[in-house]
Structure 1
Amino acid sequence: MASPPPTISTQIVRHIRDCLELAGVPSAKLLDQYGIAPDEVDNRDHAVPLAAYVRFFEAAAETSGNQHFGMHAARLMGADGLGPLSFLFLSAPSLGQAFQTFTEHLDALQESTFNAFVIDNKTSHFSYSIRDDVLTPRRQDSEYSIGVMYNLTRRYLGGQTAPVEVHFEHERVGALSWYESYFDCPVYFEQSQNRLYLSVDLLNRGSTALSTELFPIIAGHLKARMHGHSHSLTTVERVSDILISNAPDNLPSLELVAKSLSCSRATLMRRLNAEGERFGNLVTERRIGHARQLLTSSNRSIADIALACGYAEAASFTRSFQKQLGLAPAKWRKINSKLTSARRTAASRPTS
């Protein structure tokens, strides 16, 4: 039996809808166009398909004429914008714990999403991406999500911070100065992940926003809310997450992945085989998935994309891509560019 499609809470969809209405654009017809029942968006206990949300978000930006709609929506999000997840973050005993618990509970609001918080020697980073590479373009969601984490961090610290740098997986749209003014730091595009980098010196600071006494209460509520629909990650999912967290042109070997999972190379191969998968296939999926992102969200040449995805030359990339998707990269890009253009045209039609 096929798994149901991943969903996202109406808590998030409602804020995007409200921002669209605030921009003077009626939302009901646009929501309905993407299969979201307008009257269900106000129900806090409902969820909508993740794919519908992503497409609605892109259409909202097009219809409003605001190319930075997602980042404006992030800036307008209140302290309750993510419901209990916002309060969990803002009441955590330290900023480091705020990020760590946020990543552990995001599934309560949004499924099929990779997010991680990693601490290095001098910097830490929060990573975010939607696992399904078919969902493109998704620039608005990516910029909104990183923008939300940036604004939550500022609210937690009382506005006394700036990131070290910000990364986005898509191509830049608009002036670089606009992004760098928004985040008050260098911003880089066409990266392997959407990431917010922070100095480790900030991680031990406490909240200026909410009492830490709320933290265990909210954590308990979210744990109970997740009970029943959360599940232990399969070996395939755990390996995929390790690959997602690394750049496609510098993926870890089978031996390194096995070590990070505290098992031997042979054990990892056996576990993957028991789930009907091979390590090489997961590596290819990671590389081709990133290629799809670059093909739809950038104007980079096929040769450049091949190198960015870990292929030594364009010919081997083309063969691998065609084997996976049945089309050469150039033809796939052309077809999907037409589909994206058609969606934008439909979204830009007047709503009444």
Structure 2
Amino acid sequence: MPHTYQPRISASTLNDPLRAVEFMNGDAASISRNAGISPQDLEGNIGLKKFVDFCEHASDQLNLPDFGWRVGSVFNLQNLGTLGECIMQAPTLGAALALFRNAFSMVQSDSELRLTVEGDKARLTYRILDTSIWPRQQDAELTLSVFHGLIRSATGPDWRPDLLSLEHESSALHSHSAVGPRCPVQYGAPSNTLVFSSGLLDLPLAASENPAFKVASQSIVRIARQGEREAPVAARVRRELMMRIGRESIEQTVIAAALGMSRRTLRRRLEDEGQKFSRLLAGCRMEIAKRLLLVPGMQIHDVSERLGYSEVSAFERAFRQQLGTTPSQFRKQNSA
């Protein structure tokens, strides 16, 4: 991230993880210290890495590999402040998830939340865009568990997703685990995803229609978008690149348009921050490459393709120019 900018999350999201640790007789104070969280951090926003680290340390100290999913299953949406309160007033599941997606940055920055519908399947996808925040297994499972619980509030307790996909390589969650989604689970995926029937999006959530929901949700989304625009331009470019690499166009004009700027204005704004688009793009690609090269079984040509290179040789050349070593050498030097 440029300068001193750091991804952040609302401190109130720690309320339920802290309560869970205390309920299970864990040492919340020592876990907080290990995660770099001070009492002063519990007001306003905290670093996203601190939240993620807290969940990882809690899982380790409690010897509870499904800590994140357990906490997410009892997560109180009121921890999300105005956004959470509005989500609970949504008329349908689809409206609730759409608001979650559109205003997620209000409570957690530098993260991707997508809701896509293809035919009779809906996919709810989540991931942190900063690859340096790792491991992040408990955060991923906590977040998907929150969405899982929201869907169940519309469908009833017997509902199961069609599929759960996770970024990490292993988990206590599987189709036969007592705690979890009780559905097929895939590991080593590009993102963390719940797959379910798109017909569920039309299910009612609130007991009665709230005429104020539409106006309130629009206001919340405007506030979230304004917050996104207040970040340094380099950070905003980086977010777009990390979401798009390997999926969508990463051409500078396209990124500029996504940020509401012309290509020329974007170049000037980046220069004001001492940055260049080409440097940011190269940096994002290498961050993703370093993470993928450590995934067991991931072939170099697969990494190259996911990063959007037309030829493996172009990827290998760029990797060596940026890091002074080849992808194969990097993998050998950094594999456990």
TM range (shorter): 0.7 to 0.9
Give the structure 2 partner of residue 89 of structure 1.
87
Q: How does 1:39-54 map to 2 (within 5 A)?
A: 40-41=41-42, 45-54=43-52
Q: How far 1:171 moved relative to its partner?
A: 1.0
Inter-partner Cα distance in structure 1 for 2:208 and 2:146: 17
- 8 A Cα contact 2:34 2:57, kept in partner: no
Q: Does 1:299 align with 2:296?
A: yes
Give the structure 2 partner of residue 13 of structure 1.
14
Gaps of 5+ in 1: 339-352
Q: How far 1:152 moved relative to its partner?
A: 1.2
Inter-partner Cα distance in structure 2 for 1:25 and 1:278: 46
1:118 partner letter: T
Q: How far 1:25 moved relative to its partner?
A: 0.9
Give the structure 1 partner of residue 97 of structure 2.
99
- 8 A Cα contact 1:91 1:212, kept in partner: yes
Give the structure 1 partner of residue 37 of structure 2.
36
Task: String of CA shifts for 1:95-119, please: whole Å, max 9, x gaps.
Answer: 2221111122222211222222222
Inter-partner Cα distance in structure 2 for 1:140 and 1:10: 17
Larger displacement relative to structure 2 (143-152 or 72-81)? 72-81
Q: Determine helix, strand or coil for the equivalent of 1:198.
A: strand
Instruction: Note closer, same or farther for the CA distance 1:233–1:30 as it changes in structure 2 (3 Å cut).
Output: closer
Structural RMSD (CA): 4.0
Task: String of CA shifts for 1:31-63, please: whole Å, max 9, x gaps.
Answer: 12322113653xxx5221112212222111111
Instruction: Note closer, same or farther for the CA distance 1:152–1:302 as it changes in structure 2 (3 Å cut).
Output: same
Q: How far 1:216 moved relative to its partner?
A: 4.7
- 8 A Cα contact 2:52 2:136, kept in partner: yes
Give the structure 2 partner of residue 64 of structure 1.
62
Inter-partner Cα distance in structure 1 for 2:177 and 2:277: 38
| TM norm structure 1 | 0.75
Give the structure 1 partner of residue 134 of structure 2.
136
Instruction: Note closer, same or farther for the CA distance 1:281–1:135 as it changes in structure 2 (3 Å cut).
Output: same
Task: String of CA shifts for 1:149-192, please: whole Å, max 9, x gaps.
Answer: 11111113444643232221221234633469722332222111
Inter-partner Cα distance in structure 2 for 1:59 and 1:326: 34
Inter-partner Cα distance in structure 1 for 2:89 and 2:251: 39
- 8 A Cα contact 2:320 2:326, kept in partner: yes
Larger displacement relative to structure 2 (153-162 or 107-116)? 153-162
Inter-partner Cα distance in structure 1 for 2:168 and 2:208: 34
- 8 A Cα contact 2:15 2:79, kept in partner: no
Larger displacement relative to structure 2 (1-10 or 140-149)? 1-10
Inter-partner Cα distance in structure 2 for 1:237 and 1:299: 30
Q: Does 1:122 align with 2:120?
A: yes
- 8 A Cα contact 1:90 1:209, kept in partner: no
Give the structure 2 partner of residue 198 of structure 1.
196
Q: Determine helix, strand or coil for the equivalent of 2:59.
A: helix
Q: Determine helix, strand or coil for the equivalent of 1:176.
A: coil
Instruction: Note closer, same or farther for the CA distance 1:180–1:286 as it changes in structure 2 (3 Å cut).
Output: farther
Number of corresponding residues: 330
| TM norm structure 2 | 0.78
Q: How far 1:124 moved relative to its partner?
A: 2.2
- 8 A Cα contact 2:154 2:203, kept in partner: no
Give the structure 2 partner of residue 167 of structure 1.
165
Larger displacement relative to structure 2 (280-289 or 124-133)? 280-289
Instruction: Note closer, same or farther for the CA distance 1:184–1:81 as it changes in structure 2 (3 Å cut).
Output: farther
